[in-house]
Amino acid sequence: MMTEGRSRSEERPGPPVRSASRFGFPLPALPALYALCALPLSACGDDSSPADGGGEVDGDGTGDGEGGSTSTFWSCPGDPGCAGAGAAAFEAGVGRRVANPTITETLTVDVDGDGEFDIRDDEFDDVDGDGRFDGVWIAGYGNPRPANDIHDDIETRVLALRSGEKLLAIVSADLIGMFHDDVEQLRSAVADLDIDYLLVACSHNHEGPDTIGLWGLNETSSGVDPAYMNFLLAQMEAAVRDAVADLRPARVKYGRTQPGESAAKGINNVVGDGRDPVILNPWLTVLGFEDAADGSTIATLVNWTAHAEFSDDRINSITADYVHSLRLGIEEGVAEGSVDVPGVGGLAVFTQGALGSQVGPNRVQTTGLDGTEWTGGEEIDWAQEVGRILAVGALRALDEATAPEDTLDLAWVRARVELIVENYGYHAMLLNGIFNRELHGYDPTYPLETGNYPWLWTEVSWLRLGRAQVYTVGGEPCPEQFLGGYDGSYTPDSLSLVDPGSAHPPDLSAAPGPPYLYDRLEGAEYPMTWGLTNDMLGYLIPSYDYFLDEHAPYIDEAFGFYYEETNSIGPEGWPAVERAYLEILERRP
Task: List, for residues 315-326, the tens digit of each pLDDT value.
Answer: 999 999 999 999
Q: Crossing angle for the helix pair 226-245 and 180-189, nearest 10 degrees?
A: 50
Q: Is 490 exposed, middle or buried (0-12, 13-18, 19+ CB in 10 A)?
A: buried
Greater pLDDT, 67 or 589: 589
Say what the pLDDT of residue 375 is.
83
Is the pLDDT at 121 greater than 70, yes or no?
yes
Cβ contacts of 328 within 8 Å, gap of 6 or more: 348, 387, 391
Judge contact between 100 and 154, C-beta under 8 A.
Answer: yes
Say what the pLDDT of residue 43 is.
33
Please count the other Cβ atoms lying within 10 Å of the Cβ belonging to residue 194. 10
pLDDT tens for each residue of 294-338: 999 999 999 999 999 999 888 999 999 999 999 999 999 999 999
Residue 393: pLDDT band with limits 50, 70, 90: very high
3-state secondary structure of 183: helix
Say what the pLDDT of residue 205 is.
97
pLDDT tens for each residue of 244-258: 999 999 999 999 999
Q: Which helix (H) or strand (E) holds 328?
A: helix 322-332
- Helix (H) and strand (E) counts in the chain: 9, 26
Greater pLDDT, 408 or 20: 408
Cβ contacts of 211 within 8 Å, gap of 6 or more: 139, 175, 176, 177, 178, 182, 224, 229, 232
Q: Is 207 exposed, middle or buried (0-12, 13-18, 19+ CB in 10 A)?
A: buried
Is the pLDDT at 58 greater than 70, yes or no?
no
**What is the phi/psi pair of residue 533, to 5°?**
-110, 120
DSSP calls for 73-92 = EEEETTSTT----S-EEEEE
Average pLDDT of the residues in 142-164: 96
CA neighbor of 348 nearest in space, from 81, 114, 133, 170: 170
Say what the pLDDT of residue 285 is.
98
pTM over 0.85: yes
- Rounded to whole angstroms, the Cα distance separating 112 from 118 reads 9
Strand spans (E) along 99-165:
107-109, 123-124, 149-150, 155-163
3-state secondary structure of 447: coil
Q: What percent of the chain has pLDDT over 90?
A: 80
Average pLDDT of the residues in 72-78: 93
CA dihedral 173, 176, 182, 184 (to 10 degrees): 60
Greater pLDDT, 85 or 139: 139
> Could you state, in order of their start, the residue ranges of all structural domains in the chain?
5-25+69-100+152-431+450-586
Greater pLDDT, 80 or 383: 383
Residue 68: pLDDT band with limits 50, 70, 90: low
Residue 142: pLDDT band with limits 50, 70, 90: confident
Say what the pLDDT of residue 34 is.
46
Average pLDDT of the residues in 176-197: 98
pLDDT tens for each residue of 338-371: 999 999 999 999 999 999 989 999 999 999 999 9
Average pLDDT of the residues in 230-242: 98
pLDDT tens for each residue of 525-580: 999 999 999 999 999 999 999 999 999 999 999 998 899 999 999 999 999 999 99
Strand spans (E) along 343-398:
347-352, 366-367, 373-374
Residue 84: pLDDT band with limits 50, 70, 90: confident
Say what the pLDDT of residue 5 is.
38
- Rounded to whole angstroms, the Cα distance separating 76 from 532 reads 22
Say what the pLDDT of residue 432 is.
87
Say what the pLDDT of residue 406 is.
97
Q: How far is CA 178 from CA 135, 358, 467, 474, in A?
A: 20, 19, 28, 9
pLDDT tens for each residue of 413-444: 999 999 999 999 999 998 888 999 999 999 99
Strand partners, 458: 417
**What is the phi/psi pair of residue 103, to 5°?**
-95, 120
Length of the chain: 589
3-state secondary structure of 394: helix
Cβ contacts of 350 within 8 Å, gap of 6 or more: 157, 172, 201, 203, 302, 303, 304, 323, 326, 327
- The one-letter amino acid code at 570 reads G
Say what the pLDDT of residue 70 is.
77
Say what the pLDDT of residue 41 is.
37
Q: Is 513 exposed, middle or buried (0-12, 13-18, 19+ CB in 10 A)?
A: exposed
Q: How far is CA 143 from CA 113, 114, 117, 557, in A?
A: 14, 10, 8, 19
Say what the pLDDT of residue 452 is.
95
Judge contact between 352 and 477, C-beta under 8 A.
Answer: no
- Rounded to whole angstroms, the Cα distance separating 223 from 144 reads 8
3-state secondary structure of 268: helix
